[in-house]
Chain A
Amino acid sequence: MENANRFELRLTGSGGQGLILGSIILAEAAMMEGKTVTQSQVYGAEARGGTTKAELIVSDRHIAYPKVTDPDLLAAMTSDGLQQYGGGISRKTEVIIDSSVMCAPDFLNEENCHGLLALPIRSTAVSRLQSELGLNIVLLGVIVGLTGLVGVDTLRKAVGMHIRKQYLDMNMKALDLGMELVAAQAETGIRI
């Protein structure tokens, strides 16, 4: 449905990466800013390692159909995730892929998406945080840096609601790293 104040987001990757949690944190941040949201997910029977999809709709008004049908943003953290849930994108969809685990796929081009942003998300988490665990929060930093979907301070508050105290510093750093990735990319102007 056409609505300028509606934002549809789809995250896909591998079970265990925390993408569902990431979408919940973003949902809470949007709620704090007075928006309404629906957050949903698809996953397999595996405890971890299966392909997952997390979806979030943020809107100023009531959301009837709760699933993403016309994504404004698709972020793929694994190549399997992109293969399985990369369908349904359109000229308005901004696509983010993790360049540290995959190459830009052939089927994405100027004709079928708004833009493709390849950022080294996993390798940044591993090299700068010494942990893969911050990957989802780095991605949230990327998303907010790119779209301004929610305020950074609000997002920090929402992260704090879901992350244990002893890991909070690491996750705040992860947010910064994500936003830095976007800023650095904007500076160089290099897009794939």
Chain B
Amino acid sequence: MSEATVLMQGNEAVAEGAIAAGVRFYAGYPITPSSEIAEIMARRMPQVGGTFIQMEDEIASVTAIIGASMAGKKVLTATSGPGFSLMQEGLGYACMVEAPIVILDSMRYGPSTGMPTKVSQMDLMQTRWGTHGDHWIIVLSPSSVQESYHLAIRAVNLAEKYRNPVILLSDETVSHLREPIDTALPEPIIDRRLPAQKTGYQPFKTDATLVPTIANLGTGFRTTYTGLVHGESGFQTANGHVAETLVQRMRDKLFNNLDDIIRLETDHSDDADILFMSFGITARGVTEAVETLRSRGRKAGSLRFITLFPFDDDRVRQAAGPAKTIVVPELNSGQLVLLLKRVFGDTRRIVPLNKVNGDLISPAEMLTFVREENL
């Protein structure tokens, strides 16, 4: 272990990762199991010359970080299911005005206030479809404390690079887990591109990257932005052609760069006949189950979604290898499995393994499931 190795909690790793990536504005409303992030940011933001604001609720929290982001700050807020529900309106607005923001959602048991201190993976579809209208979100899912640190940095980088909201989808267990982590910087820090000159400045005009170079507010550029459909000038329009161009561009700015955005981790998928597909904390049990099955001579493997959205069917098909049976363990009644059934249709046997009692799926439970279902 290197000198930089320290024992850290998942929430602390997110806060420190965000700070390392340049986050200097945090607005939030504390909620279990994400509260430590607000607590840490209240202490750390003043230390690094940043700003911490405790807001009156989560609607205010998300709109505060959108405003700070448009004024040029790298921003973060953290919440859990009940608060994430309130943030959905602001999330859609952030998509539309192309505000680089990062929201951490630490999943607890729902719906509603559910069980605050119990783990779940019930917000997966909410990250993608929680706000209305055609929109695209980047969703990253850590399964360890070390990865919480890395992905916090990556989330800020991707938000800045593509001017798009990024959701860091953690869960109660990863948020509260303590593990040794190495805080040496893993990747370069990315800053948003800014307009070069005022002459002819159009905030939503783009080049081949399809990412606009919107000036930070207060830097002398005349910038208008709105949740209404807008042209390159930023002013509202009801022109169907402009609307179509806008929505397609917001999709393409991400989908033209899937190699950069999508990360899938595979283990023994090349020769597996049974493949576990999972994300977040559930993948930790999968690793051990696969190891045990392999030690017994069974060709087992795994695929873990580090990037959950954008979701690319072709990449998933390629990464899946030849496995005839795909087991999908998740701490909900079946959300990831819906996507996989769509991807694979009848070509593979897709078997959901769901647990909804607030506990994790242990490796032993996975092995029992494989045995009892004759997989």
Residues in A lying within 8 Å of B, measured CB to CB = 1, 24, 27-28, 31, 34, 36-45, 63-67, 69
Contacts and interface: CB of A to CB of B under 8 A. Distances in A.
A37 B288 contact: no
B78 to A, nearest CB: 19
B179 A44 contact: no
Interface residues of B, number: 23
B288 A42 contact: no
B362 A31 contact: no
B362 A65 contact: yes
Given A31-B7, A65-B284, A65-B285, A39 B177 contact: yes
Nearest to A39: B178
A64 B284 contact: yes
B173 A65 contact: no
Contacts of B364: 69
Contact of B176 (A34, A40, A45): A40
29 contacts: A1-B288, A1-B291, A1-B363, A31-B180, A34-B1, A36-B1, A36-B179, A36-B180, A37-B180, A38-B179, A39-B7, A39-B179, A40-B173, A40-B177, A40-B178, A41-B176, A42-B117, A45-B116, A45-B117, A63-B179, A64-B284, A64-B285, A64-B291, A66-B177, A66-B281, A66-B284, A67-B173, A67-B360, A69-B364
Contacts of A64: 284-285, 287-288, 291, 363
A63 B145 CA distance: 12
Contacts of A31: 1, 5, 7, 180
- 9 nearest interchain CB pairs? A64-B287, A39-B178, A64-B288, A65-B288, A65-B285, A65-B284, A40-B177, A65-B363, A64-B284
B292 interface: yes
Given A31-B180, A45-B116, A64-B291, 18 more contacts: A1-B292, A1-B363, A24-B7, A27-B7, A31-B5, A36-B180, A37-B180, A38-B177, A40-B173, A40-B178, A45-B32, A45-B117, A63-B179, A65-B284, A66-B173, A66-B281, A69-B362, A69-B364
A69 B363 contact: yes
Residue of A24, A40, A43 ringed by the most chain B CB atoms within 10 A: A40
| A28, A39, A44 interface centre (most CB from chain B within 10 Å) | A39
Contacts of B360: 65, 67
A91 B253 CA distance: 58
Contacts, number: 64
Interface centre among A28, A38, A44 (most CB of B within 10 A): A38
Nearest to A56: B178
A80 B364 CA distance: 26
Given A24-B178, A40-B176, A65 B7 contact: no
Interface in B85-139: 116-117
Interface in B280-327: 281, 284-285, 287-288, 291-292
B290 to A, nearest CB: 9
B24 to A, nearest CB: 29
A39 B181 CA distance: 13
A134 B297 CA distance: 50
Contacts of A63: 179
Nearest to A62: B287
Contacts of B178: 24, 27, 37-40
B35 to A, nearest CB: 12
Contacts of A41: 176
Contacts of A28: 7
Contacts of A38: 177-179
A113 to B, nearest CB: 19
A27 B6 CA distance: 11
B141 to A, nearest CB: 16
A47 B363 CA distance: 32
